Amino acid sequence: MNDATVHQEPSYLGAPYGLAAWLLTKDHKRIAILYLISITIFFAIGAGFAATIRAELVTPQGDLVTADLYNKLFTLHGVVMIFFFLIPSIPAVLGNFFIPIMIGAKDLAFPRINLLSWYIYVIGAVITLSVVISGGLDTGWTFYAPFSSISSNTDVTTAAVGVFITGFSSILTGFNFIVTVHRMRAPGMTWFRLPLFVWANYATSLIFILGTPVVAITVLLVAAERGLHLGIFDPRIGGDPVLFQHLFWFYSHPAVYIMILPGMGVISELVANVSRKQIFGYSFVAFSSIAIAIIGFLVWGHHMFVSSQSIYAGLVFSIITMLVAVPSAVKTFNWTATMYRGSITWDSPLFWVLGFMGLFLVGGLTGLFLGTMGLDVHLHDTYFVVAHFHYIMVGGGVTAFLGGLHFYWPKMTGRMYSEPLAKVSAMLVFFGFNLTFFPQFILGYMGMPRRYHAYPPEFQVLNVMSTGGAMVLGTGYFLILIYLLYSLFKGPKAPANPWGATGLEWQLQSPPITHNFHEIPVVTEEAYDYLHAPAPQLAIPASPREVTHE
């Protein structure tokens, strides 16, 4: 298998060349790259909105932007980051690229549908973002009715149509992944030999398929009430505003798990690799993903403890919320135990693992505060909630995505990036993130409500700290963009298996050939068999044969 490093064949990145060949590709790896480029653009747009929000909040007065513009900024920040960056990030980029390879397949089950997913995603995103020139959107990403249906003067209908369309992209991707995992595993690749990344994406796909239709219909109902005055949510025409919240959170709470479950999958791969050890409690980690996906569908009412829903309904939602914390705790303990008596490599993936763990711990544990009814009354809709979900979705989700991107970058691009810069940026992201969002927990407990354009002066010091942290965080993210782009042109060529990792993906050359495998492999080992893994090899060893590329 190590021969792949020396006898390079033309990779998927090469022929056929040209824009048309890329835009009409059915290769899951190229589609993953298309997604990577798209989500990077949307991340940059969403980050721009965030930067403006943080700049506004430096002073208590609303003085940098108007109240209306501020409301549009945080709305689009949420919409873009959630629907067009976080939800597709790990599944559509790393999942698309690696699920077929990890299970020993030449592509996903439905390559054309895979390409269709990307087009639907782009069309939905463009339609949604077109509101920027047609009046903006000021409903918050939560689209709460009846504000969104009768009160907002912005272009809610267009945004709703855009989000509705984008939903089909998720549904098709989930459907594709599920069929692929069921039908296309290589001989010997049993369910319990699957990498945990595949389990996590499988669980995520269940949520895509079961949850997305509900939110798609919900936003369409908002548009229908706005345009056709159907009485669905507005009580003046016979609707029920609390019904909207039930429908919306039925999807949008599981959607949080869409944003973190794939990250948990990435971290399982990385923890095993940096520890050079079988993952501790494989089946517990695998089934906890499924448990989270299922139980996660039954907790939506914890967003509604003070919405006037029945207090007995609140009881049920609170206890199930507490239950869903358990599988996340189980995963965390298993990752920690994996490192016990490992052989820890201090390459850049370790830094992402540790960063993820620190941030995810805080994010997960603060969920306990919010699931506790008597405490949530005070914390609901304050900055405590903002801090909590950023710790989960950005501290957990984005850090895992970046960890995965760094881990798989050599495989995807065939290039190595600067290890020292990667370590520095991982630390910048960790410290910048904490400085940005930890003060927001304190602000929240002090009572500062979210979505406030102006605020009482006693909240200023913590807000200034938060904005300072955001600058550090932004620098970290920007640094990553720079050295990864630089590596594409000037980075050293990557060996087949730089991290000395297990798994079929590391037996292919870097970058892989278009059809991944010449022959479908036969799998004879369990996942993470590090007792027989090769040593890490961050550069291609100097040898006369090395210069044979192309």
Partner 1 sequence: MSSSLPLFPLSASTVSGEVDTLFFFILGVSAFFAILVSALMLYFTFKYRSKKAGDAGADIHGSLTLELIWTGIPFILAMVMFVWGAQLFFTMAKPPADAMDIFVVGKQWMWKVQHPEGVREINEMHVPINRPVRLTLGSEDVIHDFFIPAFRVKMDVVPGRLTTMWFTATTVGEYHIFCGQYCGTRHSGMIGTVVAMMPDDYEAWLAGGRTTGSAVQNGERLFTDLSCITCHKADSSGRGPTLGGVFGSTVQLNDGRRILADENYLRESIMTPQAKVVQGFQPIMPTFQGLVSEENLMQLIAYVKTLKPAETAPVPVKK
Residue 236 is encoded by which pair of tokens?
């003046």
Nearer to partner 1, 19 or 535 (CB): 535
Give residues 409-448 in contact with partner 1 (rule: CB under 8 A): 442, 445-447
Give residues 357-416 in contact with partner 1 (rule: CB under 8 A): 357-358, 361-362, 365-366, 368-369, 371-378, 380-382
Nearer to partner 1, 23 or 306 (CB): 306
Question: Applying CB under 8 A, does 319 fall inside the site for partner 1?
Answer: yes
Cβ pair 273, 100 in contact under 8 A: no
Question: Applying CB under 8 A, does 290 fall inside the site for partner 1?
Answer: no
Q: In the block, which residue shows the tokens 């720079």?
A: 482
394's CB contacts (< 8 A; 6+ apart) are 433, 437
Question: Applying CB under 8 A, does 455 fall inside the site for partner 1?
Answer: yes
Residues in the chain: 550
What is the rounded distance in angstroms from the CA atom of residue 16 to the CA atom of residue 27?
11
Q: Is 176 exposed, middle or buried (0-12, 13-18, 19+ CB in 10 A)?
A: buried
Per-residue binding letters, 489-508, with partner 1 (x by CB under 8 A): -----------x--------
Nearest approach in angstroms of CB 379 to partner 1 is 9
- If we measure between CA atoms, which residue out of 463, 102, 448, 50 comes closest to residue 265? 102
Nearest approach in angstroms of CB 216 to partner 1 is 22
Interface residue with partner 1, options 34, 184, 261, 462 (CB under 8 A):
462
Q: In the block, which residue shows the tokens 């698309």?
A: 96
Spell out the alpha helix ranges (H) of 80-155: 87-88, 96-102, 111-129
Nearer to partner 1, 458 or 525 (CB): 458
Nearest approach in angstroms of CB 347 to partner 1 is 10
Interface residue with partner 1, options 5, 8, 11, 275 (CB under 8 A):
275
- If we measure between CA atoms, which residue out of 233, 218, 189, 216 comes closest to residue 87? 216
What is the rounded distance in angstroms from the CA atom of residue 193 to the CA atom of residue 525?
7
The backbone region for 404, taken as left when phi is positive above 0, alpha when psi lies in -120 to 50, beta otherwise, is: alpha
Interface residue with partner 1, options 308, 420, 481, 545 (CB under 8 A):
308
Give residues 178-237 in contact with partner 1 (rule: CB under 8 A): 234-236
Element (H, E) at 260: helix 241-275
Give residues 516-545 in contact with partner 1 (rule: CB under 8 A): 530-536
Nearest 5°: CA angle at 493, between 491 and 496?
135
Nearer to partner 1, 385 or 405 (CB): 385
Interface residue with partner 1, options 461, 482, 485, 522 (CB under 8 A):
461
Q: Which whole-number Å values give the CA distances from 196 to 285, 333, 427, 446, 499, in the listed order? A: 8, 16, 26, 40, 18
Give residues 336-355 in contact with partner 1 (rule: CB under 8 A): 336-337, 339-346, 350, 354
Nearest approach in angstroms of CB 70 to partner 1 is 8
Question: Applying CB under 8 A, does 144 fall inside the site for partner 1?
Answer: yes
183's CB contacts (< 8 A; 6+ apart) are 109
Residue 81 is encoded by which pair of tokens?
């980051």
Interface residue with partner 1, options 58, 122, 210, 242 (CB under 8 A):
242
Q: Which region, judged by CB under 8 A, interacts with partner 1, from 16-24, 211-219, 315-323, 470-478? A: 315-323
Nearest approach in angstroms of CB 242 to partner 1 is 7
Q: In the block, which residue shows the tokens 């992201």?
A: 429
DSSP state of 251: H
Nearer to partner 1, 44 or 442 (CB): 442
Nearer to partner 1, 106 or 380 (CB): 380
Question: Applying CB under 8 A, does 123 fall inside the site for partner 1?
Answer: no
Cβ pair 141, 154 in contact under 8 A: no
Nearer to partner 1, 107 or 138 (CB): 138
Question: Applying CB under 8 A, does 313 fall inside the site for partner 1?
Answer: no
Cβ pair 251, 218 in contact under 8 A: yes
Nearer to partner 1, 51 or 69 (CB): 69
* Three-state DSSP state, 493: strand
Give residues 25-64 in contact with partner 1 (rule: CB under 8 A): 62
Cβ pair 505, 98 in contact under 8 A: yes
Nearest approach in angstroms of CB 82 to partner 1 is 16
Nearer to partner 1, 378 or 545 (CB): 378
Nearest approach in angstroms of CB 325 to partner 1 is 5
Nearer to partner 1, 367 or 414 (CB): 367
Bridge partner list, 415: 493
